[in-house]
């Protein structure tokens, strides 16, 4: 069956889904997006994703020409049109067509499109055995230059980090901020597990002020950790703290929960996925597979 794309209010065949070369999303990366999952025919955390989308758009003064409910229905319609139950959405809002030059207010109306497809961020064996990553030399954009809570179409900063990872023979890279603290990875939020002062394992992820996106999967995992009684913390992390951690894992809509067992030339823990990572991964998959409401 040919894929169908929702674009500006209509479902069209993928080969007919086009945008203008004068669209400012293409010309200048001017726009916002969300990656969203569907499990068992249910759209996971749709309200959280749409809330973030509209907040990102408002932050760059981009008006989305549809009400939230209309866009939510468009997600459901696109899923059904593609006969999918488990799928990945890419929902994009661009500034729309305009003249050459970066003035965004000369664009008359935003372009909105929804892709529904399959996605596999990492090979299955990395989820079972753990993955190796590096620390990139490319730092995260300064949070005063571009607020990390804006999920912008312009991913060049992340792509440069990804290129470093691929050149090093791995699939992901940690990105540090301008202070030398851990921000996030190129496409995922990062967590560590270490013992706190009481000798109990605690789950830590950098704060948003470090330059990390407020991830929907990240927040889900934090809530699951809290439910099972694991202490959680949002504090700045230095690279050395990653190497000394008991466990490291990543989260993301596409990645879900994946263990990290090596960073640069350092083995994390005993070099195998740790028990807390496995516990939270199991809890996450149990949660998404029984998910029945939007939030």
Residues carrying an active site annotation: 151
Calpha distance 188→215 (Å, rounded):
8
Q: Are 36 and 91 in contact (CB under 8 A)?
A: yes
Q: Which residues, other chains included, contact 219 with Cβ-Cβ below 8 Å and sequence gap of 6+?
A: 48
Helices (H), the chain: 24-28, 46-59, 68-81, 124-129, 156-167, 216-227, 239-243, 275-289
Q: 216-227 vs 275-289: helix axis angle to the nearest 10?
A: 110
Pairing outcome for strands 173-176 and 131-135: parallel
Calpha distance 167→163 (Å, rounded):
6
Calpha distance 262→273 (Å, rounded):
10
Among the listed residues 57, 55, 67, the one whose alpha carbon sits nearest the alpha carbon of residue 92: 57
Tokens read off for 291: 């998910």
CA distances to 26, 52, 145 from 88, in Å: 22, 17, 30
CA distances to 3, 203, 256 from 229, in Å: 43, 11, 21
Among the listed residues 60, 160, 57, the one whose alpha carbon sits nearest the alpha carbon of residue 112: 57
Calpha distance 108→290 (Å, rounded):
42
């Amino acid at each position: 069956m040919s894929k169908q794309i929702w674009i500006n209010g209509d479902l069209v065949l993928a080969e007919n889904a086009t945008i203008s070369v004068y669209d400012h999303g293409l010309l200048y990366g001017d726009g916002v997006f969300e990656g969203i999952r569907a499990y068992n025919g249910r759209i996971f955390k749709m309200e959280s994703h749409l809330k973030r989308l509209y907040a990102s758009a408002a932050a760059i003064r981009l008006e989305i020409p549809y009400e939230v409910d209309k866009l939510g229905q468009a997600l459901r319609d696109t899923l059904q049109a593609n006969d999918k139950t488990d799928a990945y959405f890419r929902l994009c809002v661009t500034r729309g067509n305009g003249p050459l030059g970066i003035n965004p207010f000369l664009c008359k109306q935003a372009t909105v499109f929804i892709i529904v497809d399959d996605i596999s961020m990492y090979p299955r064996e990395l989820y079972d055995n753990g993955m190796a990553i590096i620390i990139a030399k490319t730092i995260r954009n300064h949070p005063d230059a571009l607020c990390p809570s804006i999920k912008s179409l312009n991913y060049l900063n992340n792509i440069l980090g990804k290129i470093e990872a691929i050149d090093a023979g791995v699939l992901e890279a940690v990105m540090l901020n301008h202070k030398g603290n851990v921000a996030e990875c190129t496409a995922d939020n990062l967590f560590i597990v270490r013992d706190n002062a009481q000798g109990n394992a605690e789950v830590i992820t950098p704060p948003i002020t470090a330059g990390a996106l407020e991830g929907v999967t990240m927040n889900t995992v934090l809530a699951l950790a809290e439910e099972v009684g694991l202490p959680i913390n949002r504090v700045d992390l230095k690279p050395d703290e990653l190497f000394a951690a008991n466990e490291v894992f990543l989260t993301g809509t596409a990645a879900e929960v994946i263990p990290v067992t090596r960073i640069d030339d350092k083995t994390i823990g005993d070099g195998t996925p740790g028990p807390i990572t496995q516990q939270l991964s199991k809890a996450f998959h149990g949660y998404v597979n029984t998910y029945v409401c939007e939030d």
